Amino acid sequence: MIFPPSYFFFFFSLVLGSIISISSTSWFGAWIGLELNLMSFIPLIALKMNSFFSEAALKYFLIQALGSVLFISSSFLFLSFSSFSMLSILLALLLKLGGAPFHFWFPQVMEGLKWPQVFILSTIQKFAPMTLMSYLMINEVLIKITIFSAILSALIGSLSGLNLTLLRKIIAFSSINHLSWMLIAISISDTSWLFYFFVYSFILLSVTSIFHKLQTFSLSSLIQSDQNSIFHAIIISLNFLSLGGLPPMTGFIPKWVIIQIMVNLNLLVPLFFLLLSALITLYFYLRIVITLILLFNPILNFNMKHKSLTRNPLLSLSKVLFQLFSSLLPLM
């Protein structure tokens, strides 16, 4: 069981907070939704009396509280100083998202979480701030600041992920890199970033569910886990390649759409940095994938665990088919 039954109330209020925030007609209502979302996620982090969980919960609370204070203070100034207020709200939302240059807290908090909480922090917790950020994309200055933040996030998320062996930090910097694509998409249109967000969420759900089942938190423990069949290695490898955006995997489809839109809008300089960062992230994904493929043989496998992924073969097969979905696009 991922959560104790009593914690499903907090998960429900977490989703409710996001819904209140994105459907509010005022900044004050949006702030209430963000606060409900924050206070619901703290108990989900501290599932057990553990120093790592407590540290992650405290760091997350302090950063989100700082962002909330900046958010509500800026909204009070909206009628008198609208331009400054909108800029401050944008910076507060970037701080809540963990986008560069306010990314410093995200990998540290991620390191103290379990895999289900990693998924929630990387997807559900980002939905409301990104939706509120899309409401601000009516000002040219704010659009340029968002594009600049996207370029920084792309470079930091790709370069900082090199030479890492801890899987949660790799996923954290990968999330920062994917956030750069979503920030660019937010500055372009609502449809493109929503499409990218949902595809990324499904891929990350597949990755985190596998890691949670194997209870692996580092590259060495992943290699030593149950990889004694080629099918298991293929599932994890396809998920990583799709997360990296390698064609013809499903993760390439939203990137392809955004690339075409950016070319049509002559956003060639941001596109160069995004593509460069995508190649760098693909490098450290390929490093993991090649290791998995080489060690799928039982003779080469230093297998210390016996946690099979084939208890639910239909679920495993659905993960494979989802990652290969985009290969059917030319036929369509």
Q: HEC profile for 88-152?
A: HHHHHHHHHHCCCCCCCHHHHHHHCCCHHHHHHHHCHHHHHHHHHHHHCCCCHHHHHHHHHHHHH
Comparing 137 with 224, the larger pLDDT belongs to 137
Q: Tokens at residue 52, please?
A: 């790592």
CA gap 318, 85 in Å, rounded: 46
Comparing 181 with 305, the larger pLDDT belongs to 181
- Nearest to 147, CA basis, from 174, 182, 173: 182
Q: 322: Cβ–Cβ under 8 A, 6 or more apart, which residues?
A: 202, 206, 250
Q: Tokens at residue 176, please?
A: 């920062």
Paired strand residues for 218: 166
Contact 77, 33 (CB under 8 A): no
CA gap 234, 240 in Å, rounded: 10
Q: pLDDT-based confidence at 327, cuts 50/70/90? A: low
Comparing 47 with 275, the larger pLDDT belongs to 275
CA gap 37, 19 in Å, rounded: 9
Asked whether the predicted pLDDT for residue 310 surpasses 60, the reply is no
Position 31 scores a pLDDT of 95
Q: Picking from 110-124, 175-189, 295-309, which range would have the lowest pLDDT averaged per residue?
A: 295-309
Asked whether the predicted pLDDT for residue 254 surpasses 70, the reply is yes
Position 316 scores a pLDDT of 62
CA gap 238, 233 in Å, rounded: 8
- H or E element, residue 330: none
Average pLDDT in the 20-30 region? Answer: 93
CA gap 226, 223 in Å, rounded: 8
Position 183 scores a pLDDT of 95
How many DSSP H helices and E strands does the chain contain? Answer: 15, 0
Q: Which residue has the tokens 């049509």?
A: 264
Rounded (10°) angle between helices 140-159 and 167-188: 160
Q: Tokens at residue 208, please?
A: 């985190």
Position 161 scores a pLDDT of 86
Position 305 scores a pLDDT of 46
Asked whether the predicted pLDDT for residue 147 surpasses 60, the reply is yes
Helix (H, G, I), strand (E, B) or coil at 298: coil
CA gap 114, 146 in Å, rounded: 30
φ and ψ at 295, to 5 degrees? -105, 20
> For residue 166, what is the DSSP state?
B
Average pLDDT in the 223-250 region? Answer: 77
- For 211-231, the pLDDT digits (tens) are 888 888 888 887 776 544 566
Helix (H, G, I), strand (E, B) or coil at 218: strand
Q: pLDDT-based confidence at 312, cuts 50/70/90? A: low
- H or E element, residue 332: none
Contact 197, 257 (CB under 8 A): no
- Name the pTM for this structure: 0.89
Position 291 scores a pLDDT of 78
CA gap 41, 267 in Å, rounded: 37
- Nearest to 183, CA basis, from 111, 318, 310, 274: 274
To the nearest whole number, what is the mean pLDDT of the chain? Answer: 85
> For residue 308, what is the DSSP state?
-
Q: Tokens at residue 267, please?
A: 């956003």
189-240-126-258 Cα dihedral, nearest 10 degrees = -10
Average pLDDT in the 4-24 region? Answer: 89
